[in-house]
Amino acid sequence: MAERITGHTELIGLMAYPIRHSSSPAMHNEAFANLGLDYAYIAFEVDNDSLEDAVKGLRALKMRGSNVSMPNKTVVHKYLDKLSPAAEMCKAVNTIVNDNGVLTGHITDGIGYMAALKDNHIDVIGKKMTIVGAGGAATAIQVQAALDGVKEISIFNARDKFWDNAVETVKKINENTECKAALYDLADLDKLKEEMEDSYLFTNATGVGMKPLEGQTYIPDKSFFRPDLIVIDIVYFPRETALLKMAKEAGCKTMNGLGMMLFQGSAAFELWTGQPMPIEYMKEILDIKYE
């Protein structure tokens, strides 16, 4: 008889819509199997309309927790009991942990980004970074970087619907952490170049570079890079975006978003199970290699 799922198996969910394309179920179930942990991770199609009922279901079924992705990340906090400091600052949650009926919301995207840097021997603590983006992932990265001790963050974004969010993020970082944050319009490319010039690392945290914007970058030419600038793109499909290709040609150390994806998953995994994912094994499975 099959023994993988038993009467004791604990359930962890993923609530998002659309979600059938996600690689998270394969990643978490592979890690549970590798460590012999009695959990199962299943994706559920949940949108904003069904979210409240889904969270009630999580409580009623005594599930151990859930991941939460779009469009629920910025809404689900309303139905939870507590938030981690980073989730509170981002007003976004990607991980729910159920401790005997008390639901806590965490955001692990920023933790994953910082852990991927560390794993690749990139130490931005006490230094300056420039980052483009003001959406969910960018906000989580900016808040976590500030909480972890990055000295200065220059944020650029287009003046689109995400701009006001960036204004809020800068305010929260400056009020609640030792980090100095500032916001600039991405249309001001002279300013972008100036801020990149004295930064230790540069990060793209927008969807520019992946479909439908694959092959594109807002960086006009290689003069924006110098060989000792580290360039990160949190996009991981394609693995090498136009930004990373240009940065590599200019002699920069580069990294794509696969490491962040793995470590945000590992941080959630650890919150549920008390142990980290088998990182080296998962890196092999996901074919993650640093340059």
* Residues near ligand NAD (CB under 6 A): 109, 112, 133-138, 157-158, 160, 162, 205-208, 210, 213, 218, 234-236, 257, 260-261, 264
Distance CA 215, CA 235 (A): 12
Contacts of 24 (CB under 8 A, 6+ apart): 14, 41, 43, 67, 265
Give the DSSP H or E segment for 214. strand 208-214
Give the DSSP H or E segment for 288. none
Which of 30, 109, 111 has its CA nearest to residue 68? 109
Distance CA 251, CA 189 (A): 21
Closer to ligand NAD at the Cβ: 51 or 260? 260
Distance CA 72, CA 210 (A): 22
CB 94 within 8 A of CB 104: no
Q: Which residue is nearest to ligand NAD (CB)?
A: 135
Distance CA 222, CA 245 (A): 10
Closer to ligand NAD at the Cβ: 13 or 265? 265
Closer to ligand NAD at the Cβ: 138 or 242? 138
CB 135 within 8 A of CB 70: no
Token pair recorded at residue 209: 């570079």
Closer to ligand NAD at the Cβ: 98 or 264? 264
User: Least distance (Å) from ligand NAD to the CB of residue 208?
Assistant: 5
Which of 16, 17, 12, 8 has its CA nearest to residue 27? 12
Token pair recorded at residue 14: 């993923």
Q: How many CB atoms lie within 10 A of CB 18?
A: 12
Phi/psi of residue 100, nearest 5 degrees? 50, 45
Q: How many CB atoms lie within 10 A of CB 8?
A: 6
Closer to ligand NAD at the Cβ: 13 or 259? 259
User: Least distance (Å) from ligand NAD to the CB of residue 88?
Assistant: 18
User: Least distance (Å) from ligand NAD to the CB of residue 232?
Assistant: 10
User: Least distance (Å) from ligand NAD to the CB of residue 104?
Assistant: 21
Catalytic residue positions? 73
β-bridge mates for residue 83, sequence order: 105
Closer to ligand NAD at the Cβ: 250 or 288? 288
User: Least distance (Å) from ligand NAD to the CB of residue 131?
Assistant: 10
User: Least distance (Å) from ligand NAD to the CB of residue 155?
Assistant: 10
